[in-house]
Structures are given as C-alpha cells and as structure tokens.
Structure 1
Amino acid sequence: MGCPLCGKHTDSLWLPNSRKHVYMCHRKGLSPTHSYRGKKAWFDGKVEYGRKGRILTGHNISVLLKNYKNEFGNVRQAGRKRKRVIPAESLADSEDEESESEEEEEVDEEELSRWKKRSIFFNLPYWEELPVRHNLDVIHVERNVAASIISTLLHCGNSKDGLNARKDLHVLGIRKELHPKARGKRTYLPAAPWTLSKEEKRLFCKRLHEFKGQDGYCSNISREKISGMENEIVETICMFERFFPPSFFDIMVHLCIHLGREARLGGPVHFRWMYPFERHMKLLKDYVRNPARPEGCIAESYLAEECMQFCRDFLRKTTSVEGRQERNTEYESTSILGGRPISAGRSITLSEVEKKTAHLAVIQNTTLIPLDSTEHDDTLKWISYGPRNMARSYTGYVVNGLRFHTTSVQRQTQNSGVYYEATAMCRASARDTSQIVDLVSYYGRVVDIILLDYNVFYIPLFRCQWAVRGNGVKVDESFTLVNLNQSQVFFARDPFIMASQAKQIFYSREDESSNWYVVMRGPSRRYTEADSDEADAGPLPLSVDMNVEDVDAEDQPARVDCEGIYV
C-alpha cells in the first residue's frame, strides 16, 4: 500500500531493473470519454477502461483495524509473518469466542498486513468521521517532485533516467526508439524528449539562477480554482506519463493528485505543513557548540533563550520598551503621510522643474477633501505653500504592506517593479471624436524614492522609469510584456506617482537576447480579499486548454537534434 488514501486500490507496477514499485495508470481518474484513455502508444500500450477507486474513509480503516493489536518495540520475526493476537475480551466465554473467530475469518489478511499499527486517535468518537485525519507532508512532496524533475532534465543527482530505466522500457515493450543500444563496449541511450543539450542546460540553470521574485511573494487561490486544479493535475500527470520514463513515477508523484482535495478541505497549507518545525529543528541544531554533547548544548542554549524571553516580556509590561514590529508593518507618523523608509536617507536639492513636477503630482493625486472638513485644514494649507527645495532620498520604502527598493539595490528579491492604474481620456483611434474615461495601466521600475518636505510633514513619491504605451507594452496570449529600455522623453514631465498608489509587480526576462520582460503579479503575504481577484499564481493563464491535438500523434519519442548518453 503506497498511498494512504487509495489503500489497496493504489495501482502499482514493479520494475525489475530499477527494482522499485512505480505508481502509474492515472488515466483511470479521467472522465470515461476522455481521449487520453484510447492512446495506446502514448502510455503503456493498452486502452484504459478502468475507473479510480474510492478514497479510504475513517470508518473503513476503523472497521478494518478493529481487532488489530499493536506490537510496540523493534521486534523482528524473520522467515514468518506477523502473528495476530486475539484480544483478551474475546476469551470471556465460548460463545463470544466463536463470534469473534467468525468475524476474524471475514477480515482480509492481505489488507491487514499492509498496516503496522492502529492509531490511538481512533479511540476518539469523532476521529473516524473526519474527512482529513492526517495531512500529507506538502514540503517533502513538492521538494521530491521538483528534485526528480530537475535531476531528470539535467541528468544529474538522483536522475530517474539511466540504463536500468531504459531496460525497463524494453521489458514493458514500449517506446522502442528509447531502448538501450550496444555500441562496442559501451551502451548508448538515445536522446529522449526530456533530454537537454549542453546549451539548453546552461540556459535552464541561468534562468533559475537569475530569477528574482518580489519580497514575500505568495498566491491566493480560491476554492473554485482548487476544484478545477484537482481535475487538471490528473491530466498533467498523464502528460508526464506520456513523456517521462516509468521509473519517474514514485509515490511522491502520485500523492500530488490528493493535494488539491486536502487544500479544499483543510484550508491554507501554511497551517498544515512542516516548514515551522523544520526551521525550529535548524535553530536547535545551531545551538550545538560541542558535537560530543549535543543534548547538553541544546538544553543550555534553550534555557538561556527562554530566560531572555521572560525578561523581554517583563520589560515590555513594566517599561516603555516596544517589541519588534513585523517586517513590512507601517506605523502611524505625523511627519510622514503614508509608509515609512527602511534605508538610510540622504539630502538632495531639487531643481525648480523637478520641484514643480513633483508638487503637481501631489496636487493631482491628493484625495479630494470636503469643503466642510476641518481635520485636514492644516495639511491643505501647507500643501498650498509648496515644498522646499531640499528633499530626502531613500533606496527602500514600505507602504501598504509592500516593500519597495530602487533599481540600484542588488538583492535576492526583485522589489522595484511598479504597476499603476491612472484615469485617462481614451478613444479608439485618431479619427474617433468620442472620448470616454477609462483606466490605463502603466508598468515601470522605481529609480528613486523622494520625501517632499512641506515644512511640517513629508509626502513620499516614487520616481519611476516607465514603459512607453504602444510600442513598449504588448499583450500576447495572456502574457503582458514590457520593454523598459526605451526613451523616457514621453514621461519627462510626469515621472512621479504617490507611494500609496504603487502596486508591486516583478519581471521575468523573455530570453537572454531580448529586451522584453514578462509581467508577473501577485499579492504579498498580507493579501486581502480585495487583492484575491488580481492575483495570479504565475505568468500562465488561469485556464489552460489541454487538448491532445496540441501534441502530434505521430511525433517520435526520441530527439534527433540532441546527442544521447553513453554509459
């Protein structure tokens, strides 16, 4: 039993050369009329008529392990099966003993041998009614699946491709073009669809190394999208079966089909995965100073840390010491209208043109205040006086829970991308005389963060390098691409936006020789329900039409434009 949810209905196949069980036959999870079911050459050479089995419920497991007695300790019984012990309650009288023996005869011994223990949680009256009793370990599933894909593509580490994997293809009688071929004293493995050339491997590694996302990037996926993903993941794994070798499909790949169900029932994954515990284990290991006495080092360091925590809690209640705020938290300030700087500032002198342009951006984008309002009278008065020539320049700023940095800051994350929606008069063409008010999107990068000094308070502005609309922005197949290496003459008179108006995005370069960048958007860790509709899980469109016509039915499983491998 490889899958704890499918139980004995888990379809497995033993590979004699790789010497392991693999879990395929995911076409059973498709609809009965799906075209993948009839593709013999794409999969195992057979037409799939079966249907997937039901998921084990808590009641099924409870009934199965009702009379199971746990054997604790590391007891080995070589050469024979585990002996089942009849509970003592069954020996009360002969009638009960006969009834118990009749029930035991109905128990599936083969199914019972798959289990090692009966969980003590089944003593709880509600446990067997829970739809999710134990969560799958998402971090190890994603880590192992990602490592399998990358190592197979790059043919390094624990690659699922090799001589034994190709021999298993020969045993199964599928993909004859990929079977190993003897050439002298060596064996030649033809280039498979997953085989990359040296140049392709270099580009692949370079893109992964140079990729930079925004700070705290995450994705808010609704339950409706999860329901669709549960069906799409089955098709995705079927496409993996089409191209990857059978040795690729270990139990971790199979468990991916259940992650959508658990996310739908259990909610956000960060409440259920092992990352906090793994990080805490890393913290405890760092306490070790003497490898000969690791337990003592951990105990002493943990006690010292606990004493310091008690002292901090005591001082926080008795003195005015403030605790450490969250990383991207804003604090209320009467001197700065919105956000806070997170870097050292420097004084700069604005020219008259720059001062007028920045002041005009503040006036045009300041929220309209009613005439009978007395709360912001002083603010309006000082804004009407205009800013001073002296201003403060920063390289980092936090506003609206987002962390921004200028392009001059080199970090592991990319926090300089800016997305801004402005209200403008639009028309269909130059000949169109009817104009309408609509939102126009602008994409750019933050090149400077300025605090305008209005004598009694500061107003933050972002000076940005914008992509020219028209020839600098294009939408191609649900992708938005921008070219930021163009002249900024068009934005010379209006390069500023208010810091509170900035929305964060990040860019991924189209290819090594192109000046076009793909726009990627996503909410921060402090996302709200208002941001959920704007969030994308990545650059891919939300709905992908996976038709079999997208792949040629007559294509060759072996690559002819790439060199194979000698072993």
Structure 2
Amino acid sequence: MGVSKPLSGCTNTEEVLPYIEQHMIHIKTAYPKFRKRTKWLQDKHNSTFIQWLRFKVQSELEEDNHGVSENLRWLAAGPNMAVPLYRSYLIKCIKFNIKAQDDVRTTQNSGVYLLAHTMQVASAKDKNPILSNMGFYGVIQEIWDLDYQKFTIPVFRCDWIDSSSLVVDELGFTLVDLSKIGHRNDQFVLASQVKQIFFIDDPMHRGWSVVLSMPNREYNDVIGDEVLGDVIIECEPFTRGMPNVDTFDELVGELGSQNIRGGCEDIWIE
C-alpha cells in the first residue's frame, strides 16, 4: 500500500504563468528574426521552457526575499524519475481506466475528451497558425503519478484520434475512427483537464465509433480503513524510469476539468 500527497487546488499553473511570459520575451529577444513566427516560437518554448524554468527558479532562490513558493520550487526541480503506473485512478468521483483494464472488464472507462485552446495549422508550411478552441478524443494507455516530493500530479498518456478521422453525422453525433492515431509527439495530459467519454460501434458505418458523454458514475466500491490523508492506493503500483519526454508543458495550458461533480473531495487511486 502506497500513499501520496496530492497538490490541493490548481495554483501551480497560476504561479508558472509569469515565467511563461518571461520565457517568451526571452526567446523573442534571443531570436529577433523569428519574433513573428507564432508556431516557431511556441515550438521553441515547448522544447526549452522546463530547463529555463529550472535555472531561473534556482537563480531566484539564491537571492534574499526571493518570493519563490514551495510548490513552484518543487515544480521547477522536476518529478522523481521513478514513476508509479496505475491501471485505474478515481478522481472527483470519476473512475478512469487504462485501455488494458477496460479490455478485461464489461464497463468502459478509458475514453477521454480534451477541449484545448491550441494552434491550428493549415499545412506544414503554415508559419502563422490561428489560436482557437479545439476538441481532442483519446483513449488512456497509461496512468502516471508524477511525484514532486511534496505533492503528486496524475497524468494520462493517451492515444489521441487523428483530427482528420473525426466527422459529425447528419444527426449531430460525433464519429471517430479509433484506428487512426495522431498527435504522437504530444500524448500526455493532466488528469484534471479531461472529461470522460465513451465509444460505441456505429452500426451504420463500419470501422467508426460514436462518441457519447454520459452522466458521471459514482464509484461506490467498499473502502477499508486504510485511509491516510487524501489518497488511497488499493493495489501496489509498479514503477519504471521516466522516458525522455521533451516537456510537460501541459502545466502551461491547464484548463481545469469540465466534468467535476460537486460535493466530492479527494483523489482515490485503484
């Protein structure tokens, strides 16, 4: 039985936002020829922000009256490289499974939807994409619990459906082709950012699945007395070294869950 300490609230992103702005100014100053290239600037930010933030915060900590919070200090330091993986994770009364867990169950809990304010690129040569809201549909493949010593942050590694394999039929239902996987370089999402969805086979269109959004199903499994703090881990996780991920810039664009049931507290892990 393992126990972790979740970060209360979502203040970590707010604390990081001023540094994001500083980093973008730093990039534009260092590369003036690219200051109007929106996509290039965003890609550069994504690939260098974590290292820049770590150095920036460390420099500020060496100053008197630096004002760096404990949360920001641990975020900048990065998570433990040994990452616990889980088959199921219960957050705000909503149970999420990895696909391998769904494959041996009669219920489905691995489908997720993310509404993101992101860049939309017309083509590979598009140097100035537009920013707008865009929906992404995916299936959870792994559940990671990133340990920042003082708190943990659950993230999902998902197979995201290629945006070109998404249509809306004449009745207004969203159809996706689950075999068409895209966005392979950006698979991770904060667990707090997604809404749970379900996929059912479309009887009229072979190879396509209908996306359904159902009312939250409360998880009422009997829990024993092993309640310590805010998190319970019911089955021992297995760990592995963290792969080389370019950046966890999902912290930058945290949208907050749109599928949170009021009156529920804590995070339960199965």
TM-score w.r.t. structure 1 length?
A: 0.26
Change over 3 Å in CA distance of 1:373–1:449 after alignment to 2 = farther
Report the counterpart of residue 336 of structure 1 in structure 2.
Answer: 6
Report the counterpart of residue 407 of structure 1 in structure 2.
Answer: 99
Q: Would you say the 8 A contact 1:510–1:518 is kept in 2? A: yes
Correspondent of 2:168 among 466, 475, 481 = 475
CA distance in 2, matches of 1:496, 1:429: 23
- 5+ long unaligned stretches in structure 2: 10-45, 54-64, 219-257, 260-270
CA distances 1:348-380 after superposition (whole Å, capped 9, x unpaired): xxxxxxxx99x96xx9xxxxxxxx996x81111
CA distance in 1, matches of 2:161, 2:8: 26
Does residue 397 of the first structure (1) align with residue 67 of the second (2)?
no
- Provide the alpha-carbon RMSD of the alignment: 3.7
Alignment of 1:480-495 (within 5 A): 480-486=174-180, 488=181, 490-495=182-187
Alignment of 1:142-291 (within 5 A): none
TM superposition shift of 1:412: 2.7
CA distance in 2, matches of 1:440, 1:491: 13
Report the counterpart of residue 424 of structure 1 in structure 2.
Answer: 118
DSSP 3-state at the match of 1:522: coil
TM superposition shift of 1:426: 3.1
CA distance in 2, matches of 1:379, 1:429: 39
Which amino acid is 2:90 matched to?
V
Alignment of 1:440-451 (within 5 A): 440-451=134-145
TM superposition shift of 1:513: 8.2
TM superposition shift of 1:390: 0.3
CA distance in 2, matches of 1:334, 1:432: 44
Report the counterpart of residue 147 of structure 2 in structure 1.
Answer: 453
Structure exhibiting the larger radius of gyration computed from Cα positions:
1
CA distance in 1, matches of 2:105, 2:205: 23
CA distance in 1, matches of 2:122, 2:185: 25
TM superposition shift of 1:394: 0.5
Report the counterpart of residue 190 of structure 2 in structure 1.
Answer: 498
Q: Would you say the 8 A contact 1:338–1:499 is kept in 2? A: no
Change over 3 Å in CA distance of 1:429–1:493 after alignment to 2 = closer
DSSP 3-state at the match of 2:99: coil
CA distances 1:128-161 after superposition (whole Å, capped 9, x unpaired): xxxxxxxxxxxxxxxxxxxxxxxxxxxxxxxxxx
CA distances 1:493-540 after superposition (whole Å, capped 9, x unpaired): 2111001001000011013982211000133157xxx86xxxxxxxxx
Does residue 380 of the first structure (1) align with residue 50 of the second (2)?
no
Indicate the percent of aligned positions where both proteins have the same amino acid. Answer: 36
TM superposition shift of 1:388: 2.1
- 5+ long unaligned stretches in structure 1: 1-332, 340-355, 364-371, 532-567
TM superposition shift of 1:434: 6.9
Which amino acid is 1:419 matched to?
Y
Change over 3 Å in CA distance of 1:373–1:436 after alignment to 2 = farther
TM superposition shift of 1:484: 1.6
Which amino acid is 2:169 matched to?
D
Q: Would you say the 8 A contact 1:397–1:405 is kept in 2? A: yes
Q: Would you say the 8 A contact 1:400–1:500 is kept in 2? A: no
Q: Would you say the 8 A contact 1:337–1:460 is kept in 2? A: no
Change over 3 Å in CA distance of 1:373–1:469 after alignment to 2 = farther
Report the counterpart of residue 515 of structure 1 in structure 2.
Answer: 207
Which amino acid is 2:116 matched to?
A
Runs of 4 or more off by more than 4 Å in structure 1? 427-435
Q: Would you say the 8 A contact 2:201–2:209 is kept in 1? A: yes
TM superposition shift of 1:427: 6.1
Change over 3 Å in CA distance of 1:479–1:513 after alignment to 2 = closer
CA distance in 2, matches of 1:479, 1:430: 30
CA distances 1:475-507 after superposition (whole Å, capped 9, x unpaired): 122111111212x4x433211100100100001
Change over 3 Å in CA distance of 1:438–1:373 after alignment to 2 = farther
DSSP 3-state at the match of 1:408: helix
Q: Would you say the 8 A contact 1:338–1:460 is kept in 2? A: no
TM superposition shift of 1:433: 7.9
TM-score w.r.t. structure 2 length?
A: 0.52
CA distance in 1, matches of 2:184, 2:121: 23
Q: Would you say the 8 A contact 1:473–1:480 is kept in 2? A: yes
Q: Would you say the 8 A contact 1:388–1:452 is kept in 2? A: yes
